């Protein structure tokens, strides 16, 4: 099955080039040049992943991300020329799963996409984390019988923590398990622990009763995170 990838970028040449790279990697690129039509194209074509340039003229990438996130848990990877903290964190907060800084290697881009499109696990069964019930095969999370909507990435994060409740996961470990970092040793920039921080926050906002006093996704100071196992 060929995965469809929506490429949203206003630079014509770059868009085409990315498309070429994706095609030769076995994906089917769908092009969007303008943020205004991004959502509509998304709903029409139903891609498996979205590559989204943050700096778009007109309707900006952050807004597009928000809109797509509101209707779908599809993996979204931000493309950004800026490595400033604020932009990236903002993008992650509104729903992006990962980001890649221009200029980037084609191989890196493809590896990132592959990581997001990787099937979560071949496990079946039910995992209990506190008051949450994870149906692994269906990728569904229920709390007291009610479904909690998580993106695949959020589910993956929760699942990783919950499948080894005694283990404390450092941010690097989570980056490796969930985001599939590090890619190559000569990676241009060091994988970013902000990815983990923001996603933990997003996860908490969705699954915790009180996100400021988390009971399910616990912080272990100076080390990382782990799953809370008492159900209350």
Partner 1 sequence: MFSLLRRSLQARAVFATIALTSIAMITLGGFLSYALSDGLYRARLEQVLEETERAVASVQDTVSAASLTDETAMQSLLNSIVPTLEIRGTNESRQVALLRSPDQPQLQLLQSPISADLDLNSIPEELRSQVRQSESTLSYTSVALIRQGVTSPGITVGAPLDIPLAGMFELYLVYDLSSEQQTLDFVQQVLAWGGAILIAVISIVSYTVTWRIVKPVESAASVAEQIAAGQLGERLVERGSDVVAKLAHSFNRMASTLQNQIQQLDELSQTQRRFVSDVSHELRTPMTTIKLAGEVIFTNREQLDPALRRSAELLQNQVNRFEALLVDLLEISKYDAGVVQPEFELQDLNHVVGLAIANIEPLAMSKGTSISIELPDGPVEAEFDSRRIERVLRNLLSNAVEHAEGKPIRVQVGANSNAVAVCVTDQGVGMTKQQIEHVFDRFWRADPSRQRSVGGTGLGLAISKEDTTLHRGWLQVWAKPGKGASFRVTLPRYRDSVIANSPLPMPPKSKTAGVDT
Among 33, 36, 37, 55, binds partner 1 (CB under 8 A): 55
Least Å from the CB of residue 190 to partner 1: 5
* Maximal CA-CA distance, the chain: 54
Q: How far is the CB of 10 from partner 1 (least distance, A)?
A: 9
Cite the beta strand spans of the chain per DSSP E.
4-8, 28-32, 49-53, 76-80, 98-101, 126-129, 132-135, 140-143, 146-148, 169-170, 217-220, 224-227
What's the closest the beta carbon of residue 197 comes to partner 1, in angstroms?
11
Stretch that binds partner 1, among 7-15, 41-49, 132-140, 147-155 (CB under 8 A): 7-15
Comparing CB distances to partner 1, the nearer of 104 and 139 is 104
Stretch that binds partner 1, among 44-52, 65-73, 146-154, 183-191 (CB under 8 A): 183-191
Q: What are phi and psi of 10, to 5 degrees?
A: -85, -20
Q: Is 110 in the site for partner 1 (CB under 8 A)?
A: no
Kindly indicate which of the ranges 14-22, 89-97, 134-142, 143-151 contains the residues binding partner 1, using the contact rule CB under 8 A. 14-22
Going by C-alpha positions, the residue among 96, 80, 195, 99 that lies closest to residue 152 is 96
Distance, CA of 105 to CA of 187 (rounded, Å): 9
Q: Compute the distance between CA of residue 205 and CA of residue 130 in angstroms, rounded to an integer.
A: 16
Give the footprint of partner 1 on residues 75-94 (CB under 8 A).
81-82, 84-85
Ranges within 16-45 binding partner 1 (CB under 8 A): 17-18, 20-21, 24
The HSE-up count of residue 108 (CA atoms within 13 Å, CB side) is 20
Which residues would be at the binding site for partner 1 (CB under 8 A)?
A: 11, 13-14, 17-18, 20-21, 24, 55, 81-82, 84-85, 101-107, 185-186, 188-190, 222
């Amino acid at each position: 099955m060929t995965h469809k990838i929506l490429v949203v970028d206003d630079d014509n040449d770059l868009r085409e080039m990315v498309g070429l790279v994706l095609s030769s990697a076995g994906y089917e690129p769908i092009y969007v040049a303008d943020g205004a039509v991004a959502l509509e194209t998304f709903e029409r074509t139903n891609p498996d992943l979205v590559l989204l340039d943050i700096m778009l003229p007109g309707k900006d990438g952050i807004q597009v991300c928000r809109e797509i996130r509101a209707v779908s848990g599809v993996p979204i990877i931000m493309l950004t020329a800026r490595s400033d903290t604020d932009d990236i964190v903002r993008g992650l907060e509104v729903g992006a799963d990962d980001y890649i800084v221009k200029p980037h290697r084609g191989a890196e881009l493809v590896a990132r996409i592959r990581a997001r499109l990787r099937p979560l696990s071949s496990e079946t069964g039910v995992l209990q984390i506190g008051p949450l019930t994870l149906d692994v095969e269906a990728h569904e999370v229920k709390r007291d019988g009610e479904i909690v909507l998580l993106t695949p990435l959020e589910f993956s994060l929760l699942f990783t923590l919950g499948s080894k409740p005694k283990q404390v996961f450092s941010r690097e470990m989570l980056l490796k398990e969930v985001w599939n970092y590090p890619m190559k040793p000569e990676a241009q920039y060091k994988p970013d622990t902000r990815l983990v921080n923001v996603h933990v926050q997003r996860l908490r906002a969705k699954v915790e009763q009180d996100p400021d006093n988390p009971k399910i996704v616990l912080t272990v100071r100076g080390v990382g995170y782990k799953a809370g196992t008492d159900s209350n």
